[in-house]
Amino acid sequence: MFGLNKIIPVEPNINFLGLRRNFLIFSILAILISIGLLSIKGLNLGIDFKGGTLIEVSTKNTSIGELREILSSSYSDVSLQEFGNENIILIRLQNKSNQESIETVNSVKNLIQDKVVEFRRSEFVGPTISSELLFRGFQAVSFALIAILIYIWLRFEWQFGFGAVVALTHDVLFTLGLLSILNVEFSLATIAAILTIAGYSINDTVVIFDRVRENLRKYKKLELVDLFNLSVNNTLSRTIMTSLTTLLALVSLFTFGGEVIRPFALTMIIGVIIGTYSSVFIAVPTLLIFKFRPQDEDD
Amino acid sequence: MKNYPIWKSFTAVSLVLLGIIFAIPSIIYDENSENWFLKNKINLGLDLQGGSYLLLEVQLDVLYKEELDNFVDSVRLISRGQAVKIEKINIQENEVVVFFSNKEKIKDIRDSFFQMYRGVTLQINNNKLSIKLNDEYRKIIQDSAIKQSLEIVRKRIDESGTKEPLIQRSGKKRILLQLPGVKDPERIKDLLGKTAKLTFHIVDNDNVSALQNNLAPFGKIIVPDMYNENTKYLLDKRAVVGGENLVDAKGSFDQTEGHAVSFRFDTEGAQKFGKVTTNNIGKNLAVVLDGVVITAPRINSAITGGSGIITGNFNAQEASDLAVLLRAGALPAPLEIVEERSVGAGLGADSIAAGQIAAIIGMVLVCIFMILIYGTFGALANVSLIVNLFIIISLLGTIGATLTLPGIAGIVLTIGMAVDANVLIFERIKEESLKETKVYQIVKNGFDRAMSTILDANITTLIAAVLLFAFGSGPIRGFSITLSLGVIASMFTALMLTNFLVYMYLSFANKKELKL
């Protein structure tokens, strides 16, 4: 019989909370570095948010160098990049006025017509649209954080909501910082990934908080630190299991899902790892700020 | 098993059956099926089936400016009638300010003006009349412009032979176009790029100095030639007749003139055209399209039949495209393309293939992992997981949702996340098995205790998905749809189907003790 779950003891007893200071320092450093990176280096904004023109072509017997030569004589701001394999090339052009950009697409297509087997896609995002999309992305993420906070508030006590939002903000900033270091393209799909990470991370946190609440009722005499530790341990195998299955699916998406979806999958993988970490090491310790039992104050 | 409620078994079994049955149309995927059942298949988004997405913005500023020009003309006409001299006219962004030489009749002028343009804000200050384009007036212009533009765009797209286009208003001043299967949107963009405002004007050949000074007197305009910018015509500003009176236009071939567009007027147009040509024999009649003169032939005789041809240096395609534009009618204002996303069928097919592989491999990995960890229970959860996938597919098909590339990513992601509910239940069962000894009690407690956690955990994911739907656009919405459906379906399959399977298993295997 299989049943490898016996590897993880039914009632593990790992002192997670004892390590909280180390992890807190690690996370604070990570967040500070992330903020620094975001303000200095920034994100690798794709055309969704920066605006511009993107053309994906498949070629045969034509190197990226040849195409670059043809195009750079007409356009100074053109950039070319292999996409997945050497026969598929992405051509990017900076934004101009709407009308000009549309004409650019046409003339680029005409210039390289005979070197290209297929124009796989062409995208153009005008300057007004890109700033709107960026604004809406921000709106979506902020509203999601607020809505989740309100939900946790309603279902738990407000202290839990605070812990959850601290963890969430941590996840979002940390993930953005890593995206900046890794130079992953930041697109509409990345916003979707970040919102999903928020949902996922909070899901993890909620499961542990649920247990904290249950244990608070069950063990009235237990020290809070021990009680939190117990709760994390109770839910540990679930936390690990769900993260692993989600990661399995995401790694499959990253490896086989195609070039276009890869940045999304990568962002999600980073986010799931950070989200799982933060549920245990950030969200729960944050609860220690609060006194959950009136009698604690009497002691 | 004796005590397992019948309704629960029934729900679990029908969940499986319905899920599988309604997934059939999407799995067979017969594109052109007319069968009522097979029609319930998933719609593929433009990024998967190939096609063009265009977002057009109506250039309202042009319209506002035009309206201000109309104000000026009308004020001139009125004050001329009242014999009041105008000293100066200032045209600002939103406002026309007219300075009269005296203020005696200014109130009368204001009143006559108001008769023509109700809703504008008029203000008198000494000898100054200011006419303001207020917000309501702008909104009226805006709404009617969008409505007209939508109609014209629809006609032009229909004429172009695109099948199943989606044309809808988006926001205050935009029009969204989805053109499935259109690989090369250049021709569509050409068709939409022209306003196609056609008017006929009498040419003024007498006033030579006006043309020389490039200064049109009141009531006249100077218009360049279509083919040679330096050739200019002095025309009556008032059009004799316009494109709105056309009932038909076709590309045609004329022995002497080459490719041309033949047209026919409606009764009103034919009458106007007949009258003007009768009264102006010997003069030239200019055909003006979007601010340039296509041709200006001499009127040799009265044309009363209500039909004619427009000649120019057209080739066959240009003549037939112009005919399409004339048939569809003029746009009230130019359209500007502000966003375009076109995907070729090749990339779409690649994306589908890659998505399928990723989903299958993800599924296999998760299933193997579940069996490794939970043994038989893992296998039961896998059955739920597979049914879950069928349910997502059948729901997408029956509600007619659109599957996009991010949508496929959502499905693969849910494969990983869907087992969560099962994991929560199994972990609870594991804990309960330390306290309880009765097998059925353990399982019952496990499911009951896991329930509220499952709800809490999934609702937060749903919140994120719903907000994504509200703020996201096209393809991203596809992601939020599959993610939401996946999360909801996973709750149902875990609580109904896994529950049923676990009880079935325990009862058939006749388990006396439970070690998970």
Cβ distance A121 to B357 less than 8 Å, yes or no, reads no
Cβ distance A119 to B344 less than 8 Å, yes or no, reads yes
CA B253 vs CA A164, B61, B287, B313, B381: distances in Å: 74, 39, 18, 12, 72
pLDDT above 90 as % of chain A = 36
Q: What is the rounded CA–CA span in Å between residue B133 and residue B64?
A: 8
Tell which residue, B51, B48, B52, has the closest CA to residue B348: B48
By the 8 A CB rule, do B370 and B419 touch? Answer: yes
By the 8 A CB rule, do B248 and B264 touch? Answer: yes
Burial class (CB in 10 A: 0-12, 13-18, 19+), A119: buried
Per-residue pLDDT averaged across A257-263, rounded? 91
pLDDT above 90 as % of chain B = 29
Residue from B471, B482, B487 to probe the interface with A (highest A Cβ count within 10 Å): B471
Per-residue pLDDT averaged across B15-28, rounded? 88
Tell which residue, A8, A32, A76, A4, has the closest CA to residue A234: A8
Shortest distance between the Cα of A11 and any Cα of chain B, in A, equals 8
CATH code of the domain occupying B6-49+345-509? 1.20.1640.10
User: What per-residue confidence (pLDDT) applies to A1?
Assistant: 39
Q: What is the rounded CA–CA span in Å between residue A299 and residue B155?
A: 80
For the segment A198-226, what is each residue's pLDDT rounded down to a tens digit? 888 888 898 999 899 889 888 888 888 89
Helices (H), chain A: 20-40, 47-50, 64-72, 98-112, 127-155, 158-182, 188-218, 224-234, 236-256, 262-278, 284-287, 294-298
Taking CB atoms and an 8 Å cutoff, what residues of chain A touch B453?
206-207, 210-211
As a residue count, chain A comes to 299
Taking CB atoms and an 8 Å cutoff, what residues of chain B touch A252?
358-359, 361-362, 365, 412
What secondary structure does DSSP assign to B336-355, as a single string?
A: EEEEEEEE-HHHHHHHHHHH
> What stretch(es) of chain A map to CATH 1.20.1640.10?
13-45+129-298
Per-residue pLDDT averaged across A131-158, rounded? 86
**This prediction's pTM:** 0.84
User: What per-residue confidence (pLDDT) applies to A5?
Assistant: 58
> What stretch(es) of chain A map to CATH 3.30.70.3400?
52-125
pLDDT band for position A298 (cuts 50, 70, 90): very low
> What stretch(es) of chain B map to CATH 3.30.1360.200?
198-308
Of A98-102, A291-295, B204-208, B264-268, which range is least confident? A291-295
**DSSP 8-state code for residue B217:** P
Cβ distance B467 to A143 less than 8 Å, yes or no, reads yes
Q: What is the rounded CA–CA span in Å between residue B96 and residue B79?
A: 15
Assign A258 to helix, strand or coil: coil
Cβ distance A192 to B369 less than 8 Å, yes or no, reads no
DSSP bridge partners of B403: B44
Where do the DSSP E strands lie in B364-450?
A: 402-403
**Residue B478 predicted with pLDDT over 50:** yes
Cβ distance A206 to B460 less than 8 Å, yes or no, reads yes
A contact residues 66-85, partner B, Cβ 8 Å cutoff: none
Q: What is the rounded CA–CA span in Å between residue A276 and residue A271?
A: 8
Tokens, residue B381: 């959860």
Tokens, residue B252: 């045609």
> What stretch(es) of chain B map to CATH 3.30.1240?
60-138
For the segment B61-104, what is each residue's pLDDT rounded down to a tens digit? 888 988 898 888 888 888 888 888 888 888 888 889 999 888 88
> What stretch(es) of chain B map to CATH 1.20.1640.10?
6-49+345-509
Edge-to-edge strand list for the sheet holding B174-180: A79-83, A85-93, A52-59, A116-125, B335-343, B51-58, B174-180, B166-170
Phi first, then psi, for residue B305 (nearest 5°) are: -75, -15
Assign residue B161 a region (left: φ > 0; alpha: ψ between -120 and 50; beta: otherwise): left
Shortest distance between the Cα of A172 and any Cα of chain B, in A, equals 13
User: What per-residue confidence (pLDDT) applies to A73?
Assistant: 83
Options 3.40.350.10, 3.30.70.3400, 3.40.50.740, 3.30.70.20; CATH for A52-125 is: 3.30.70.3400
CA B470 vs CA A137, A140, B395, B464, B477: distances in Å: 11, 8, 20, 10, 8
Query: Tokens 């309100």 belong to which residue?
Result: A150
User: What is Dmax (Cα atoms) for chain A?
Assistant: 83
Q: In what helix (H) or strand (E) does residue A220 lie, and over which residues does it extend?
A: none
CATH code of the domain occupying B60-138? 3.30.1240
- Closest by Cβ to A252, choosing from B336, B358, B468: B358
- Closest by Cβ to B413, choosing from A1, A136, A250: A250
User: What per-residue confidence (pLDDT) applies to A296?
Assistant: 47
CA B223 vs CA A123, A239, B296: distances in Å: 36, 74, 11
Which class is domain B198-308? alpha beta
Cβ distance A252 to B412 less than 8 Å, yes or no, reads yes
pLDDT band for position A11 (cuts 50, 70, 90): low
pLDDT band for position A272 (cuts 50, 70, 90): very high
Assign A47 to helix, strand or coil: helix
User: What per-residue confidence (pLDDT) applies to A10?
Assistant: 58
Query: Tokens 């069996």 belong to which residue?
Result: B371
For the segment A125-136, what is each residue's pLDDT rounded down to a tens digit? 988 888 888 888
Per-residue pLDDT averaged across A5-34, rounded? 83
CATH code of the domain occupying A13-45+129-298? 1.20.1640.10
CA A249 to chain CA centroid, Å, is 16
Cβ distance B413 to A140 less than 8 Å, yes or no, reads no
**Residue A297 predicted with pLDDT over 50:** no
Q: What is the rounded CA–CA span in Å between residue B250 and residue B138?
A: 36
Shortest distance between the Cα of A46 and any Cα of chain B, in A, equals 14
CA A240 vs CA A5, A23, A252: distances in Å: 11, 18, 18
By the 8 A CB rule, do B384 and B493 touch? Answer: yes
What secondary structure does DSSP assign to A102-139, as a single string?
A: HHHHHHHHHHHGGGEEEEEEEEEE-HHHHHHHHHHHHH
For the segment B323-379, what is each residue's pLDDT rounded down to a tens digit? 888 888 888 888 988 998 999 888 999 999 999 999 999 999 999 999 999 999 999
CA A152 to chain CA centroid, Å, is 21
CA A241 vs CA A8, A194, B362, B373: distances in Å: 10, 21, 15, 9
Half-sphere exposure (CA, 13 Å, Cβ side) for B307?
8
